[in-house]
Structure 1
Amino acid sequence: MPFFPLWLTARGLSPGEIGAAIAVPLFTRLLATPLLGILSDRIGRPRAVLAGLAGLTVIAMLVLSQAQAPLAIYVVLGLAAMAWNPSFSLLDAYATRQARAGRVDYGRSRLWGSATFILANLAGGFLIAKAGASAVMVLILVGQASFLAAMLALPELARAPVVAGPHLALPRAGVMLVLGVLAAALVQASHATLYAFSSVHWSERGLSLGVIGGLWALGVVSEILLFRFRTQVLRRIGPLWLLAAGGIAALVRFSALALDP
C-alpha cells in the first residue's frame, strides 16, 4: 500500500502518528501470523481460511475508511492487519504445496504477482492524482475484494499429513540459519522509513503521484528479474552472498537517497 500514508496525511495525522499507524500492522504480524498458521493447520482447509481472512479484511477496511481519530485508525488497522498479515504466509504455504505437487510454478506465480503490483501502482498513482487521497481507500477495497474473489476460486487442498517430531527445530538448524534470518530482518527493517514516508516526501517535493507510482513500480522490476533468473543467480553466488547483495543494495539506495535536497 504505497499510497496509504497519503490517506493518513489527508486524515490529519502527524508524522509521528503516521509512523505509529504503519507500525501497528508490523506488531500484530508477530502474534497473528503464527497463531493463524497453527489454526489453519488444525482446520486442514487452507483455502477456506484464506477466504475467511480476506472477507474479514474487506469488512475491517470498510470500517477503517470511516475512521477519523488516530486511536480509531490504530484499533481498526490492527484488526485488519490481524486478518491480512497471515494471508501472505498462508498463501505462500498453499502455493508451495501446489508447486511440490507439480500444479504450479512458484517463481512464475510470484513473477505475475509482482507484475500486477507494478500495474496497480502505476494506475493507482494516476487515479489518485485525479481523484485525490480519498481514492486510496477505494483502491485498497477494490484490491481486497479482488483478493477475496481469487481465494474463493482456489481449489481446496487435502489435509496435509502430520509429521511427528520436535516442535522447535532451531538447534538443528544451526547458528547460520538464525544469523541469516536476523540479517534479512535487519535489511527489511531498514526500509521502514522509506515505506512509511517516501510517498508523502516525494509528493511534498513536487513529484506527481503518477511518477511516485512509477518509482514504487521500478523497485519491483528488480524483483521480477530476480525471480526470472533465480536459479542461475543462486547457482553462481549461493544464498549467503545473495543475502549480502541485498544488504549492499540497501546501503547504496540509502546513500543515494541521503543526497535528496
Structure 2
Amino acid sequence: MKETELPYWRLSGFYFFYFTCLGILVPYLSLYLDWQGFSASQIGELTAILLASRIVAPNLWAWIADHHGQRIIIVRLTSLAAVIVVAGLFIEQSFFSVAITLLLFSFFWNASLPQFEVITLEHLGKDSHRYSRIRLWGSIGFIIIVIVLGALLEVYTPNIVPMTLMACAAGMWLMSLTVSDTSHQKNEYSQTPLKQLLKRPSVIAFLLMCFFIQASHGPYYTFYTLYLEQFSYPSGLIGQLWALGVFAEIIVFLLVHRWLNQHGTRRILLVSLLLTSLRWLLIAFFPQHLLIIILAQCLHAASYGAFHSAAIAWVHRHFTGKTQGRGQALYSSVSFGAGGAFGSLFSGYLWDTPGPQSIFVIASALSFIGFLVTLVWLKEDDRINKYTP
C-alpha cells in the first residue's frame, strides 16, 4: 500500500491513546490501590481481575466481528463504554466496587485492541511487516504518560490516576471515530477452520509460550513500582525507568520488520524469551544497583518489543480470513489475559512470603519454560524470502 493511501496518523493515534491508558494502569494502578489502603494480596487480586477479563472479552467481541464484520463499530462502542465505566472509580472505593469497575473497564477496553490490530493489518495489506512503525506510537504514548504522571505524583496524591485514565480513554474513543472500516476488503489467503488450527502442535506451542512469557511479567507489571519504592527510588525516577524500557521498545519497533524478514519469527521469539529470563534475574538480585536496573529496563526491547512484534506476525500468518480477529483475540486472551492474571495472582500471594526477590526468580523460570516450549515444539521457519528494507 502506498504511504498516501495509508491513514498512518489516524491508526497511530488510536495506539497512542490506548497505550497511554496502559501507561497509567501498569506503573500506577498498584500505587493508587496501595494509597487507597488495599493489601498486597488484594492488589494482586484486583490486577488479576483487570487482566482475567481479557480471557473472555476479546474472544467474544472477535466472534461477533468475524461473523458480522463492522470491526470499527465494535472498537468505537467498546472504547466509549470504557470511558463511561471508569467513572465508577470516583463513586466508591470498597474492594467489591473497585473490582466490578476494573472488571467492566477491562471487558470493554481490552475488546478494542485485537480488533484494531486486524483493522491496521488490513489497511497495511501486503506491507504487514511495517506494522511496528504504526504500533511504535503506542509506545511513545506510554513513555509520555509515565513521565508526566510520575512527575505529577510527586506533587499531587494518587487520586489523579483515575482522572487521567478517563481522559486518555476518551482520547482513544475520539481517535476511533476517525478510522475507516476495512470489512469490505477481501482477504487473498486461504483459510483453515479455527477448530482445525487449534489442533496443530505449532499453534498449541505458540499459545503455551505466550502464556508463560506473560505470566513471567506478572510481578513486573503488578509490583515493580512498589518494589523500587522499597529501595528508596523516587516516583519521578521510577517513571523515567518505565519510560526507558518503552523507549528501548520503540527502537526495536523501528528495526524489527527487517529482522522478521531476515531471521523469521521463531528465532526472534527464542532470543526474546532468553533475554526476558535474564531480565527478571537482574531485577531480582540487583535492585540497589541503578546501572543494572537500567540495563534490565533496556531488555524490555526483547521481552515486549521484539516478542510482541514477532507474535503479531506469527498470528497474522497462521490465522487468515475470518479467523483473523479470533486469532488476535486468542493471542491476547491466552497471553495478557490468562498469563497476566496468573502472574499477578502468584506475585500478590507470594509478595510478603517468600518475598519480591523470589517472585522475580519464579518469573525468570517461567520465561525459560516458554523458551523450552518454543525450542522443542515451535519448529516452523517463518523467514520471508524476499527482503523489503
TM-score by length of 2: 0.62
Residue matched to 1:202: 228
- Offset, 1:157: 2.9
- Offset, 1:160: 5.4
Q: 1:164 to 1:113 in 2, by over 3 A?
A: closer
Q: 1:187 to 1:57 in 2, by over 3 A?
A: same
1:201-240 per-position Cα deviation (integer Å, ceiling 9, x unaligned): 2234322222111111111123212221113323444322
Q: Contact 1:95/1:104 (CA < 8 Å) preserved in 2?
A: no
Q: Contact 2:121/2:128 (CA < 8 Å) preserved in 1?
A: no
For residue 245 of structure 1, what is the amino acid of its counterpart?
Answer: V
Residue matched to 2:318: none
Residue matched to 1:257: 283
Partner residue of 1:170 out of 197, 213, 221: 197
For residue 108 of structure 2, what is the amino acid of its counterpart?
Answer: A
Deviates more, 1:28-37 or 1:199-208: 199-208
Partner residue of 1:77 out of 82, 102, 106: 102
For residue 169 of structure 1, what is the amino acid of its counterpart?
Answer: Q
Residue matched to 2:383: none
Using the alignment, how far apart are the partners of 2:148 and 2:265 within structure 1?
34
- Offset, 1:18: 0.3
After superposition, the CA RMSD in angstroms is: 2.3
Using the alignment, how far apart are the partners of 1:36 and 1:141 within structure 2?
22
Q: 1:35 to 1:216 in 2, by over 3 A?
A: same
Residue matched to 1:214: 240
1:44-66 per-position Cα deviation (integer Å, ceiling 9, x unaligned): 22222111101110111011232
Q: 1:171 to 1:127 in 2, by over 3 A?
A: closer
Partner residue of 2:250 out of 217, 224, 229: 224
Q: 1:158 to 1:88 in 2, by over 3 A?
A: closer
1:88-125 per-position Cα deviation (integer Å, ceiling 9, x unaligned): 11111111111117799522111122122111211111
**1:28 equivalent in alignment to 2:53:** yes
**Percent of aligned pairs with the same residue?**
24
**1:179 equivalent in alignment to 2:201:** no
For residue 218 of structure 1, what is the amino acid of its counterpart?
Answer: L
For residue 58 of structure 1, what is the amino acid of its counterpart?
Answer: V
Q: Contact 1:25/1:85 (CA < 8 Å) preserved in 2?
A: no
Q: Contact 2:86/2:166 (CA < 8 Å) preserved in 1?
A: yes
Deviates more, 1:41-50 or 1:2-11: 41-50
Residue matched to 2:372: none
For residue 41 of structure 2, what is the amino acid of its counterpart?
Answer: G
Using the alignment, how far apart are the partners of 1:171 and 1:110 within structure 2?
27
Q: Where do 4+ consecutive residues of structure 1 move more than 6 Å?
A: 101-104
Residue matched to 2:65: 40
Q: Contact 1:129/1:210 (CA < 8 Å) preserved in 2?
A: yes
1:88-237 alignment, distance < 5 Å: 88-100=113-125, 105-159=130-184, 166-170=193-197, 174-237=200-263
Q: Contact 2:150/2:236 (CA < 8 Å) preserved in 1?
A: yes
Structure 2 unaligned spans of 5+: 1-24, 289-389
For residue 222 of structure 2, what is the amino acid of its counterpart?
Answer: A
Residue matched to 1:15: 40
1:58-77 alignment, distance < 5 Å: 58-77=83-102
Q: 1:175 to 1:199 in 2, by over 3 A?
A: same
Using the alignment, how far apart are the partners of 2:180 and 2:143 within structure 1?
27
Structure 1 unaligned spans of 5+: none
Residue-pair matches, total: 260
Please state whether the residue corresponding to 1:157 is helix, strand or coil: coil
Q: Contact 2:198/2:204 (CA < 8 Å) preserved in 1?
A: no
Q: Contact 2:132/2:257 (CA < 8 Å) preserved in 1?
A: no
